[in-house]
């Protein structure tokens, strides 16, 4: 999405050159060395096309540009065309932002649904710091997409089958101490202990027997399995709710196997590129022939979907799950209400005893999965293409991210390196640190509430503000920083804005444009505010919440410069006070929108 200013400048240049506005928009950039507020490199485009000197072309274009109320002057500087903006632009921009209010930057409602899937933590452990990057990235993406106008369905894939869960069930059935601590913490520690015992053939045999009974889904073991899984998810979601993370539906692997697996496999088997091998190392396996460009140079590109013993691989189940997501299977899950979330919405879970609900049948899908699963995700896309679902394959997006790790390596559920680094412990430590810095004039309850919001904001920002491609080596002090480039810095800027507005509350605001000569710091802030919609569009298009984090810091910093140089309460005239209060209100509104999209609570005071 381009800004209003960019669209207008593109039209001006189009009128003078014969180029289309679409060709010109990519040439617009913010110039350096104070040579205007916007520049175009379009002379290079014409120079290449006409085989002429771009400096001469720039001079010709500058002399032909029509007048515009937002352009004070336009001049050629070398091969560039630089635009200097008028006072009317700043006045109009400010009026537009204030008129839009809470809707500023919000996109129009779009057709189709987008499923965002995260964090898919196995239901046998607590969320630890290694999981937070996934969960916070996914939640921010869902918020951004929704604000941009898309219908968003937030899903969580619950891998409730498999050996890990069987090991946890074995420990759960043997240990009578369940319930003496938060259930997911108990279960995670129990899994670590059971894993140590898996060298014992008797234990291994008993676990394998449990796994088979889990997969059959009948009898007392199935009931205990369901009880353990649901109790663990509820405990995990207590953590999610602390972090303001919510879901629409939980899809259990056991329900995939029981409801749509057979139909999915039948569909896969109809493709000539998905075959039953009869010889070689993949004999008696169902194998997909990987023929896309990215698989050409691989030694073993083919992917096993069903093993020789008849069990489905993770890839096989994942492909079927995505066929369901895109509405390509007739089988339908049933759903039961799992719980009502603190934001007032209900979260549902797939259940044989439930009822039909309109989940799935998406037009696009975004999977928040670690970078180590990039090949796996490309295989799913390629199999969709093999089946003839080119549009769906192109609409499947993998947001790959590097993990948060300890200096000594990745977090391991099996080895228990997460112990002492759970998300719950991070939150607890964050609240403690924030409480120590809270203002002494605050009451205890107020201090506690503010400390909690500051801690949650610090945690969310520390993970969201890093580019997904960048690996995070976890550091307590950095994650819980209350100073510098952090959520508390943004929350404090917002609280300062609120305090000034409260003090200026007696001032009656005039409607219409500001008849006032803006200072350079005021203009700089207004230019940043005018970029908010484009920044959101950029963050949505690239699936990168850190773009909004960077913007928010720039906005807060620019506001602080404005505040330090443009007195509001002691302005030199009523016109200056009116204009500056309007800038203040626009800044507060914009920063509030940004914080909420990052899942951070704007604070009226700190």
CATH of the domain at 465: 1.10.730.10
546-573 pLDDT, tens per residue?
Answer: 999 999 999 999 999 999 999 988 888 8
In this structure, are residues 37 and 84 in contact, taking their beta carbons and an 8 Å threshold?
Answer: yes
What is the pLDDT at residue 510? 57
3-state secondary structure 212-250: HHHHHCCHHHHHHHHHHHHHHHHHHHHHHHHCCCCCCEE
The phi and psi torsions of 346 (rounded to 5 degrees) equal -90, 140
Is 162 inside a domain boundary? no
- Give one DSSP letter per residue of 477-495, joined into a string: HHHT--SSSSHHHHHHHHH
State the DSSP code for 103.
Answer: G
Structural tokens at position 504: 């200026």
Residue of 500, 496, 492 whose CA lies nearest to 434: 492
What is the pLDDT at residue 442? 75
Is 342 inside a domain boundary? no
Element of type H or E holding 288 = strand 286-288
Residue of 332, 333, 376, 335 whose CA lies nearest to 354: 335
Q: How far is it, in rounded angstroms, from Cα 325 to Cα 67?
A: 52
Q: How far is it, in rounded angstroms, from Cα 221 to Cα 223?
A: 5
User: Which of 85, 114, 133 delimits the end of a domain?
Assistant: 85
Helix (H, G, I), strand (E, B) or coil at 107: coil
In this structure, are residues 360 and 327 in contact, taking their beta carbons and an 8 Å threshold?
Answer: yes
Question: Which residues of the chain are under the pLDDT cut of 70?
Answer: 1-2, 176, 178-179, 439, 506-515
Pairing, β 38-40 against β 80-85: antiparallel
What is the pLDDT at residue 513? 59
The answer to whether the Cα torsion of 502, 508, 512, 516 is positive or negative is negative
Residue span of the structural domain in which 11 resides: 4-85
Is 346 inside a domain boundary? no
User: Which of 51, 85, 119 delimits the end of a domain?
Assistant: 85
User: Which of 85, 109, 135 delimits the end of a domain?
Assistant: 85
Is 582 inside a domain boundary? yes
Is 564 inside a domain boundary? yes
Question: What angle, rounded to 10 degrees, do the helices at 87-100 and 4-17 form?
Answer: 140
Q: How far is it, in rounded angstroms, from Cα 182 to Cα 231?
A: 10
Is 211 inside a domain boundary? no
What is the pLDDT at residue 1? 47
CATH of the domain at 40: 3.30.1360.70
Cis? peptide before 314, omega within 30° of 0: no
As a whole number of angstroms, the longest Cα–Cα distance in the chain is 89
Is 516 inside a domain boundary? yes
State the DSSP code for 175.
Answer: -
Structural tokens at position 340: 């009502």
What is the pLDDT at residue 420? 87
Is 513 inside a domain boundary? yes
In this structure, are residues 160 and 257 in contact, taking their beta carbons and an 8 Å threshold?
Answer: no
State the DSSP code for 295.
Answer: G
338-386 pLDDT, tens per residue?
Answer: 999 999 999 999 999 999 999 999 999 999 999 999 999 999 999 999 9
Domain tally, the chain: 2
State the DSSP code for 125.
Answer: S
């Amino acid at each position: 999405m381009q800004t209003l200013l960019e669209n207008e400048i593109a039209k001006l240049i189009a009128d003078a050159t014969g180029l289309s506005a679409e060709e010109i928009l990519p040439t617009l950039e913010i110039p350096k060395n104070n040579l205007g507020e916007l520049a175009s490199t379009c002379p290079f485009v014409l120079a290449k096309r006409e085989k002429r000197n771009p400096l001469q072309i720039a001079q010709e274009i500058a002399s032909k540009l029509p007048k515009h109320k937002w352009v004070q002057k336009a001049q050629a500087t070398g091969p560039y065309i630089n635009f200097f903006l008028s006072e009317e632009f700043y006045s109009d921009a400010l009026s537009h932002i204030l008129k839009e209010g809470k809707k500023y930057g919000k996109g129009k409602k779009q057709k189709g649904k987008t499923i965002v899937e995260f964090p898919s933590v196995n239901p046998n452990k607590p969320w630890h710091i290694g999981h937070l990057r996934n969960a916070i990235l996914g939640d921010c993406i869902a918020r951004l997409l929704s604000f941009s106008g898309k219908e968003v369905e937030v899903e969580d894939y619950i891998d409730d089958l498999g050996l890990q869960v069987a090991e946890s069930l074995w420990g759960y059935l043997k240990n009578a101490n369940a319930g003496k601590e938060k259930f997911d913490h108990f279960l995670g520690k129990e899994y670590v202990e059971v894993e140590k015992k898996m060298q014992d053939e008797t234990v291994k045999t008993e676990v394998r027997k449990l796994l088979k009974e889990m997969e059959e889904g009948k009898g007392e073991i199935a009931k205990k399995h369901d009880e353990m899984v649901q109790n663990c998810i509820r405990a995990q979601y207590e953590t999610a709710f602390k972090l303001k993370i919510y879901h629409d539906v939980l899809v259990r692997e056991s329900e995939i196997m029981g409801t749509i697996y057979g139909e999915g496999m039948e569909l896969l088997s109809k493709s000539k590129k998905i075959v039953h091998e009869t010889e070689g190392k993949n004999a008696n396996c169902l194998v997909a022939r990987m023929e896309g460009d990215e698989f050409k140079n691989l030694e073993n590109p083919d992917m096993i979907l069903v093993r020789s013993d008849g069990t489905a691989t993770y890839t096989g189940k994942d492909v079927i799950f995505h066929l369901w997501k895109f509405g390509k299977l007739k089988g339908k899950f049933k759903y039961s209400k799992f719980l009502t979330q603190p934001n007032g919405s209900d979260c549902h879970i797939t259940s044989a005893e439930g009822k039909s609900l309109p989940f799935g049948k998406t037009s696009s899908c975004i999977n928040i999965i670690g970078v180590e699963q990039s090949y796996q995700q490309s295989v799913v896309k390629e199999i969709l293409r093999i089946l003839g679902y080119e549009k769906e394959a192109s609409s499947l997006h993998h947001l790959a991210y590097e993990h948060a790790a300890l200096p000594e390596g990745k977090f391991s559920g099996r080895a228990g390196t997460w112990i002492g680094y759970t998300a719950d412990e991070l939150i607890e430590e964050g609240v403690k640190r924030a409480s120590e810095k809270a203002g002494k004039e605050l009451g205890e309850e107020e201090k506690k509430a503010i400390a909690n919001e500051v801690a949650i904001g610090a945690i969310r920002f520390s993970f969201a503000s890093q580019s997904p491609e960048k690996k995070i080596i976890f550091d307590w002090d950095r994650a819980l920083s209350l100073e510098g480039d952090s959520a508390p810095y943004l929350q404090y800027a917002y609280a300062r804005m609120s305090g000034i507005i409260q003090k200026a509350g007696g001032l009656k605001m005039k409607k219409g444009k500001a008849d006032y000569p803006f200072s350079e710091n005021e203009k700089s802030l207004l230019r940043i505010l005018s970029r908010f919609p484009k920044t959101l569009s950029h963050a949505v298009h690239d699936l990168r919440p850190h773009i909004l984090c960077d913007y928010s810091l720039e906005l807060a910093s620019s506001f602080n410069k404005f505040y330090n140089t443009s007195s509001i309460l002691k302005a030199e005239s009523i016109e200056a006070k009116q204009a500056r209060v309007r800038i203040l209100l626009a800044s507060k509104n914009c920063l509030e929108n940004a914080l909420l999209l990052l899942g951070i609570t704007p604070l009226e005071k700190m």
